């Protein structure tokens, strides 16, 4: 069949248009692939875990450069609330979710999934000038609830006791309140003494105690420095007094220890599952130990 000049031009135009369309589709697919491969997971919550979470995020990004994990603190309650509201992928918590929080999540269409990602000892700390080296759980409860207000009453010098605590949105605050101040009694409604100073960070507690010989506070084991003194703790008057270490947390002889958690709004899938699986790897758990926490494996 003979092709006229006009038809030839039309055919060339159509072929060109199809070629440009195919090229554009290929570019679009390439752009979409890059967008899919560049992922940011959001991770928010416990200030106890924040340094560990940051170290994990950095190590993971080195191995998987297309995956970024954005980590922020703010406290366990803040992270869990963000997860319940669907504004973060992963919530960090140094305490278990409360029944009310689980119920709120379900009301929003989420069924939270819990992952124990490390363990921690809560160290009771005082100024190095303080002669006190050991206390029972009952004495700690009486001190932080305000029943004991002078160091002389627990074998120390005649000085007023200054109690320091994390703020109420902190999972460490909640854990210490329930396990130490209330001695594990769920029916006990004792609170911290009104004179207790609430500080926004673990580092703040350590710093204040290092400058105040009358102060006592508590911190996650990974935040304890040489600027403060760790107190040995006994669960009873006639029991052994145990210093918090990785070993005494692992063998459960130190009485103030806990699990650390990550919560997801649902079962992990895709990039989130890959990250959670990596956290249980030897590489990730070695970082746990390097930062003074206790590996789960």
Q: Rounded to an integer, what distance in angstroms lies between the CA atom of residue 11 and that of residue 219?
A: 77
38, 43, 49, 55: CA torsion to nearest 10:
10
Long-range contacts of 72-75 (CB under 8 A, 24+ apart): 72/43, 72/44, 73/44, 73/45, 73/46, 73/47, 74/44, 74/45, 74/47, 74/169, 75/45, 75/46, 75/47, 75/167, 75/169, 75/170, 75/171
Residue 69 Cα distances to 35, 54, 55, 91, angstroms: 16, 8, 10, 12
Q: Rounded to an integer, what distance in angstroms lies between the CA atom of residue 179 and that of residue 144?
A: 12
Helix (H, G, I), strand (E, B) or coil at 158: coil
Rounded (to 5) percent helix, strand, coil in the chain: 45, 20, 35
Please give the pLDDT value at position 50. 95
Q: Rounded to an integer, what distance in angstroms lies between the CA atom of residue 245 and that of residue 294?
A: 9
Beta bridge partners of 234: 136
Match 């919530």 to its residue by tokens: 91
Residue 139 Cα distances to 80, 250, 288, angstroms: 32, 24, 31
Segment (H or E) for 28: helix 5-37
Q: Which residue in 162, 155, 119 sits closest to 254, CA to CA? A: 119
Q: Rounded to an integer, what distance in angstroms lies between the CA atom of residue 242 and that of residue 231?
A: 8
Tokens of 137: 């759980």
Between strands 90-93 and 257-264, the pairing is antiparallel
**Which of the 8 DSSP states describes residue 52?**
H
Structural domains for the chain: 39-119+259-290 (3.40.190.10), 120-257 (3.40.190.10)
Between strands 215-220 and 162-166, the pairing is parallel
Tokens of 59: 């190590």
Per-residue pLDDT of the chain (297 residues; tens, 9 = 90+): 444 444 433 333 333 444 434 344 333 322 333 445 799 999 999 999 999 999 999 999 999 999 999 999 999 999 999 999 999 999 999 999 999 999 999 999 999 999 999 999 999 999 999 999 999 999 999 999 999 999 999 999 999 999 999 999 899 999 999 999 999 998 999 999 999 999 999 999 999 999 999 999 999 998 999 999 999 999 998 889 999 999 999 999 999 999 999 999 999 999 999 999 999 999 999 999 999 899 997
Burial 105-135 (b: 16+ CB within 10 A, else e): beeeebebeebebbbbbbbbbbbeebebebb
In this structure, what are the phi and psi dihedrals at residue 193, rounded to the nearest 5 degrees?
A: -60, 140
């Amino acid at each position: 069949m003979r092709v006229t000049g006009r038809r030839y031009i039309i055919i060339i135009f159509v072929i060109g248009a199809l070629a440009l369309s195919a090229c554009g589709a290929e570019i679009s697919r390439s752009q979409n692939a890059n967008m899919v491969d560049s992922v940011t997971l959001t991770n928010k919550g416990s200030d106890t875990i924040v340094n560990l979470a940051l170290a994990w995020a950095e190590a993971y990004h080195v191995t998987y450069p297309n995956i970024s994990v954005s980590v922020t603190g703010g406290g366990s309650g803040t992270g869990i609330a963000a997860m319940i509201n669907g504004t973060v992928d992963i919530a960090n918590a140094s305490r278990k979710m409360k029944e009310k929080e689980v119920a709120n999540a379900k009301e929003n269409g989420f069924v939270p999934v819990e992952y124990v990602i490390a363990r921690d000892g809560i160290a009771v700390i005082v100024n190095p000038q303080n002669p006190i080296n050991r206390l029972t759980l009952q004495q700690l409860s009486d001190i932080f609830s305000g029943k004991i207000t002078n160091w002389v009453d627990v074998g120390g010098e005649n000085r007023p006791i200054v109690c320091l605590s994390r703020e109420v949105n902190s999972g460490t605050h909640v854990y210490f309140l329930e396990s130490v101040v209330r001695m594990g009694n769920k029916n006990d409604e004792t609170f911290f003494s009104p004179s207790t100073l609430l500080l926004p960070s673990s580092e703040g507690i350590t710093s204040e105690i290092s400058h105040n010989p009358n102060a006592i506070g508590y911190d996650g084991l990974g935040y304890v420095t040489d600027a403060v003194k760790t107190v040995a703790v006994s669960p009873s008057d006639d029991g052994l007094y145990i210093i918090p270490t990785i070993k005494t947390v692992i063998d459960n002889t130190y009485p103030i220890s806990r699990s650390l958690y990550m919560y997801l709004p649902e079962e992990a899938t895709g990039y989130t599952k890959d990250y959670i699986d990596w956290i249980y790897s030897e590489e990730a758990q070695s970082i746990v130990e390097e930062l003074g926490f206790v590996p789960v494996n």
